[in-house]
Each structure stands twice: as C-alpha cells, then as structure tokens.
Amino acid sequence: MKKLLTLTLLSMLTIGLQAQYLDVTDIFFTKAGGSASNPLPSNDLTPGDTVTLWFVFKNNLSGAQDLKMGDSLTFGWSIDGTDQGTLIMSSLTADLTNGSSINAFLRNNYVLPTTPGFSLKICAWPLYNPYAANTDPNNGRYCSDFKGRIPSSLGWLNSDERSFVVVNHSLNFNFGSGNESNAIELFSLTGARVGQYFVGQSGNIALDANLKSGIYILKATADGEISTQKIYIP
C-alpha cells in the first residue's frame, strides 16, 4: 500500500512537471515596419507615433517537446488591464526547438497615445498550443511598462533657418530671410485641419483657445516648398 501511494505521488508529480507552458519573455516597440533587433526606448516614446508592437515567447514545454512547423498557437494580451482579444498564429513557418525563443507581432501598426507623458502597461500570455493547454492567464504571462516623451516646445529648426516654437498656446515662427508670403496649417492626428494662417516672414500667432492639449501636425509652406512636423500644444 505504501509503495502504491508512493507511485501515485510520483505520477502526480510527473504530471505537474509536464504542465509547463510557453513563456512570454519580452514586449517592446520598434518603428513601424522596423526590425526586432532595434527596439525603441520604453521610457521615451513619441506621442502619436505609429509603431510596431512585438512580443517574444520561449518554448518551455516539458519533455523536451518541440513546436512543429504548421502548429497553431494562440496568445492573449491586454493594455492597462483591458483585454485586447487574442492573437492567433495559425501555422508556424518553422520548428521551434525546446528552449528556443521567437519574435512575433502583437500589432503591426499601433498608434501610440497622443497625450504627452502617457503611460502604458502591456501584458501578453499563452492561451493555446497543441501539447499543453493553458487556461490560466497568469501562466507564462509577461508585462512591460512604457512611457511617452514630454515635449516642452516644438523645437524644430531647419537648415534654412526656419523655426517654429509653441509657447503658452502661441506659435512663434520665423521662415527666414526672403520668405515674405507664407502659410501655416495645423492638423489633428486624424487629418482634420484645425487652423490655417497666412503670415509674413516672422511673428507670433495666438492659437485657437479651443485647441486641446496634445500633438498636432504643423504644415509650413513658403515659395512652394512644404515642411511638416509634429508639434505639442500645451
């Protein structure tokens, strides 16, 4: 009886050891379409940028179990605690040996929040693989914290000496010598034009008081030449 109990406990322990999972080990951003080998700094992201969101997972399945080409995998993910649905990798394009890791997209074109100094907490976890079911989102789970840059002003200076600086809801501009008739337009990140100004060489514009704090696109036109740049309006 004692021997049977010992064998039963060993069997239960073996089953427990076999219940190992895929593990998400990293989450990061790159420039849109960028390489996973060149991640953006997690604490200095540019508000309003379009980026690619990546995650890394490692094959930690027990019994030296490899993932095979053609296997289907499913992962869950969240942003600030809000579930974002599932990511289904319907067919692996190559084997993933036990103990190896691979990069994958969570979102190919992700638009960062436009609020300066934004913060994000992004988590991902494995849900399904053909070898060991995972019903607990805490198994194999990984979270990363991200922070947006806080710009103090536009800070844009071109080689032709054009400059545009936003201070206290006013735009100080200088198109440089020889540019007497110019245009400045402001657009929201959705593409809506929220301001249009016909100006001289230099001066100051009081921006619309109804413009909310955030990131905008400034379009400057002089002598048929166009420049665009993101600006922060406090």
Each of the 234 residues of the chain gets a pLDDT tens digit; together they read: 444 444 344 444 443 444 478 999 999 999 998 999 999 999 989 888 899 999 999 999 988 999 999 999 999 999 999 999 999 999 999 999 999 999 999 998 899 987 778 899 999 999 999 998 777 878 899 999 999 877 544 444 344 567 778 877 888 888 876 667 789 999 888 888 899 999 988 889 999 888 888 888 888 888 777 777 888 887
- Cβ burial of 6 (10 Å; 0-12, 13-18, 19+) is exposed
Do the beta carbons of residue 130 and residue 72 sit within 8 Å?
A: yes
What's 50's DSSP letter? E
Do the beta carbons of residue 87 and residue 53 sit within 8 Å?
A: no
pTM for this predicted structure? 0.64
Is 197 in a helix, a strand, or coil?
Answer: strand
Show the domains of the chain with their CATH numbers: 21-147 (2.60.40.10), 156-233 (2.60.40.3080)
